[in-house]
Structure 1
Amino acid sequence: MKHLKITSKITTRDSYSIDRYLSEISKLPLLSDNEEIELAQMVKKGSTEAVNKIITANLRFVVSVAKQYQNQGMSLNDLINEGNIGLIKAASKFDETKGFKFISYAVWWIRQSILQALIEQPRIVRLPMNKAIVYNRIMNVIQDFEQKNQREPSNDELAELLDMRADELIILRRSLAFHSSVDVTIGEDDDTTVLDTMVGDTFEQPDNNLIR
Structure 2
Amino acid sequence: MSARSATVLSSAQKSQRELEDLQLVVKARNGNQEALDALMRRYTGFVRLKASSYFLAGGESDDLIQEGLIGLYKAVRDFRHDKETSFRSFAELCVTRQIITAIKTATRYKHQPLNQYVSFS
TM-score, structure 2 length as denominator?
A: 0.64
The structural deviation recorded for 1:46 is 2.9
Query: Could you tell me which residue of structure 1 aligns to residue 3 of structure 2?
Result: none
Query: Could you tell me which residue of structure 1 aligns to residue 47 of structure 2?
Result: 62
Check 1:76–1:44 CA distance in 2 against 1; reply closer, same or farther (3 A cut): closer
Following TM superposition, where does structure 1 have runs of at least 4 consecutive aligned residues deviating by more than 6 angstroms?
A: none
Given that residues 40 and 96 in structure 1 are in contact (C-alpha distance below 8 angstroms), is that contact kept between their aligned partners in structure 2? no
Given that residues 71 and 95 in structure 2 are in contact (C-alpha distance below 8 angstroms), is that contact kept between their aligned partners in structure 1? yes
Partner Cα distance (2:82, 2:37) in 1: 20
Q: For 1:18-56, what per-residue CA distance to the aligned partner results, in whole angstroms no more than 9, with x for missing partners? A: xxxxxxxxxxxxx82221122122234332222221121
- Look up the equivalent residue of 2:23 and give its one-letter code: E
1 or 2, which has the higher helix percentage?
2
2:91 is equivalent to residue 91 of structure 1: no
Partner Cα distance (2:95, 2:26) in 1: 21
Secondary structure of the residue aligned to 2:62 is helix
Matches within 5 A, 1:125-144: 125=109
The structural deviation recorded for 1:58 is 0.6
- Look up the equivalent residue of 1:36 and give its one-letter code: D
Number of aligned positions between the proteins: 94
Unpaired runs of 5+ in structure 1?
1-30, 127-212
The structural deviation recorded for 1:111 is 1.9
The structural deviation recorded for 1:87 is 0.9
Q: For 1:137-169, what per-residue CA distance to the aligned partner results, in whole angstroms no more than 9, with x for missing partners? A: xxxxxxxxxxxxxxxxxxxxxxxxxxxxxxxxx
Q: For 1:72-131, what per-residue CA distance to the aligned partner results, in whole angstroms no more than 9, with x for missing partners? A: 41321211111111111112222233332212101222122212221222x4339xxxxx
Unpaired runs of 5+ in structure 2?
1-15, 111-121
The structural deviation recorded for 1:57 is 0.5
Secondary structure of the residue aligned to 2:41 is helix
Secondary structure of the residue aligned to 1:46 is coil
Query: Could you tell me which residue of structure 1 aligns to residue 86 of structure 2?
Result: 101
Query: Could you tell me which residue of structure 2 aligns to residue 17 of structure 1?
Result: none
TM-score, structure 1 length as denominator?
A: 0.39
Partner Cα distance (1:77, 1:44) in 2: 26
2:65 is equivalent to residue 80 of structure 1: yes
Bigger Rg over Cα? 2
Of 95, 98, 101, 1:110 maps to: 95
